[in-house]
Structure formats: C-alpha cells, structure tokens
Amino acid sequence: MPQASNADIIFSDQGGTVSWDGVHSFVTSNLPGNVQLGFTALRSGFFTSTMVRSVTGGKRGSGYLQLKLALVTQPLVWDQIVGSLATAARFATAQTSTHFGNNYSGEYLAFEFKDSSVTGSPLRYGWAELSLANGNLFTGGNFPALTVTGWAYDNTGAQIPMGAKGPVPEPGSMTLLALGALTLGAKGLRSWRRKQAQASQS
C-alpha cells in the first residue's frame, strides 16, 4: 500500500529520485494546507568542463515550511536536532572534478509546516528519508541524484521521531474473535481432559 495512516502519523512511501538526467523535480502530495516539501535538480553551463549540477529542496507553495539543515540517522524529534533553519537548501552539487555532498543512505530531514486547512494554522512536524548518490562529473555518473524514500508527519502537532511510521495497529475485530475462540477452546479441552482423567480413575 502506498500510503498508510497509523494513529496520528500519516506516512507515505510514494517517493522518487531527482537528478538532472532523470526526473527533474519531486513534490510531496499529501501535506494538508497550502504548502508542500519539494526537491529540484538544476544545471548551469552547457559544457562538461564548466557545468554545475545541483539538487535543492524546500518549501513549495505559499504556506509556512521550515527545514532543519542537519540530517540525522537517529529517531530524534524536532527540538533534539541541532541545526540551522531554512525554507530551502542545496543538498548537493557536482562539477567536473569536484563535488559537494558525499554518498549517504537512509538519513532523515526534519521539517515543520503550518496546516492552513485548520483554523489557526497550527504547526505540524514531519520527516523525509533521503539518500544521495554523488561524485565528480568527469566519471560520467548521473550526479547528483537525491532519492526521497518516503515521508511522514503527525497531524496532532506532536513532534514526530525521525523515521516513525506510527505505533503497531490495534488488533482488528476478527483477530480478537480468533483469540477468544482459541482461549475458549483451550479451556474446553482442559475441562474435557480433566473429566476423562476422573472417569478413568473411578
């Protein structure tokens, strides 16, 4: 399933990869209100020797959205992450013989936004899971390439831990019925065995 809602955390794994030689932009699709988080691949220069390629990300739309510029791997919440705030950032660049941003996988970008679909536009907190492939352009690689694996936000205003997709769902009614039947069946089996044992002793 591409999207799932567990308790108050809304998670989506409908991600994608952004690069100049592939898809040039990616924008989240389900943040409530008039703002989204987006990523764009840019290029300046036409010759390999002078070309600069980059991937940027940040606010898309007219609403409020801020990023914590420090990527993390631990399940920290917004207030625990030490980093500057920005509405947009450059995540990687690549030139002929140099590049900024080394390869990484499974790192989390924290963001906060205002939910303009609710009166008062309260703050909401979320994360996006990112991976980067990067290197010098003379190698011929498709650099930089930023992959958004998934993202999530909490719709109550709670500060969501990085990578959290929600608690384990409560058991459904059919599961509860099955557990009840097993319990009653075990009790009945014990009662039958006890009666059989008493009958064989007399």
Residues 55-103: tens digit of each pLDDT? 999 999 999 999 999 999 999 999 999 989 999 999 999 999 999 999 9
Q: Are 110 and 77 found together in one domain?
A: yes
Of 39, 14, 44, the closest CA to residue 152 belongs to: 14
- pLDDT at 45 exceeding the cut of 50: yes
Q: What's the domain count of the chain?
A: 2
Rounded distance between C-alpha atoms, residue 76 and residue 79, angstroms? 8
Predicted local distance difference test score (pLDDT) of residue 150? 97
Express the helix, strand and coil content of the chain in percent, nearest 5 each.
15, 40, 40
Q: Are 177 and 82 found together in one domain?
A: no
- Here the tokens at position 26 are 């990616």
The label of the residue with tokens 């510029």 reads 69
Classify residue 81: in a domain, yes or no.
yes
Tell me the H-state helices in the chain: 173-201
Burial 167-184 (b: 16+ CB within 10 A, else e): eeeeeeeeeeeeeeeeee
Classify residue 199: in a domain, yes or no.
yes
Q: Are 62 and 12 found together in one domain?
A: yes
Candidate from 38-47, 76-85, 106-115, 171-180 with smallest mean pLDDT: 171-180
Average pLDDT of 49-58?
93
Classify residue 110: in a domain, yes or no.
yes
Q: Are 72 and 32 found together in one domain?
A: yes
Q: Are 132 and 176 found together in one domain?
A: no
Domain housing 98: 3-154
Predicted local distance difference test score (pLDDT) of residue 169? 42
Q: What is the DSSP string of 4-42?
A: EEETTEEEE---EEE-TTS--EEE-S--SSSEEEEEEEE
pTM, two decimals, is: 0.78
Q: Are 150 and 200 found together in one domain?
A: no
Q: Are 112 and 188 found together in one domain?
A: no
Q: Are 139 and 93 found together in one domain?
A: yes
Q: Are 8 and 54 found together in one domain?
A: yes
Average pLDDT of 102-122?
97
Classify residue 159: in a domain, yes or no.
no
Q: Are 33 and 67 found together in one domain?
A: yes
Residues 181-200: tens digit of each pLDDT? 444 454 554 665 666 556 56
Q: Are 191 and 97 found together in one domain?
A: no
Predicted local distance difference test score (pLDDT) of residue 3? 47
Average pLDDT of 120-133?
98
Residues 134-147: tens digit of each pLDDT? 999 999 889 999 99
Q: Are 149 and 186 found together in one domain?
A: no
Predicted local distance difference test score (pLDDT) of residue 187? 57
Q: What angle do CA 34, 36, 37 make, to 5 degrees?
A: 160
